Amino acid sequence: MIQIALATGEQLTIMQHFLQASHLPLAGLERDLWRAWLAWKDETPIACAGLERYGKRALLRSVAVAPTWRQQGIGSQLVRTVVQEAQALGIQEIYLLTEGAEAFFKRLGFQPIARENVPAALHASAEWNGACPQTATVMVLRCG
């Protein structure tokens, strides 16, 4: 059975390992991360996800699954858990930037949005400011 739990500060290096292995940006991770989650199988971390908070909005970032655990629904389970917990904490919209995972996020309810329609507060994110290229697709999930 897969367990999903909030990550501790000491577990940030586990997230960094997943992100590097998945070729995802590390920029702003330590500065901007509000909450982070790890998925575990027994005592082995197998996936991660994080949120940056900007008022009632958040940026979903750093969703990565260990290669041997991909295509088993773990990423979906993790993102659904993050969304539920974010909603419980008052987040009304969750945005993300992606290159190539649009279909995955669309299945989870995220919809593409034009870059110019993203609230200015999210422009403070390192992901918005160059960690993700301008060609990345922006998506949003409205929670309320």
Task: Specify the DSSP element, H or E, that contains 40.
Answer: strand 35-41
Question: 114 or 144: which carries more pLDDT confidence?
Answer: 114
The dihedral of CA 69, 58, 51, 133: what is its sign?
A: positive
pLDDT in tens, 27-78: 888 878 889 999 999 999 999 999 999 999 999 999 999 999 999 999 999 9
Structure confidence at residue 133 (pLDDT) = 76
Q: Structural domain tally of the chain?
A: 1
> 9: which DSSP letter?
G
pLDDT in tens, 67-85: 999 999 999 999 999 999 9
Cα–Cα nearest to 2, from 74, 105, 61, 75: 74
**Residue 13 CA, distance from chain mean position:** 16
Q: Residue 59's domain is classified under what CATH number?
A: 3.40.630.30
Look up the domain containing 51 and give its range.
2-142
Q: Please name the residues in contact with 10: beta carbons below 8 A apart, sequence gap of 6 or more.
A: none
pTM of the full structure: 0.93
pLDDT in tens, 91-136: 999 999 998 899 999 999 999 999 999 999 998 888 887 777 778 8
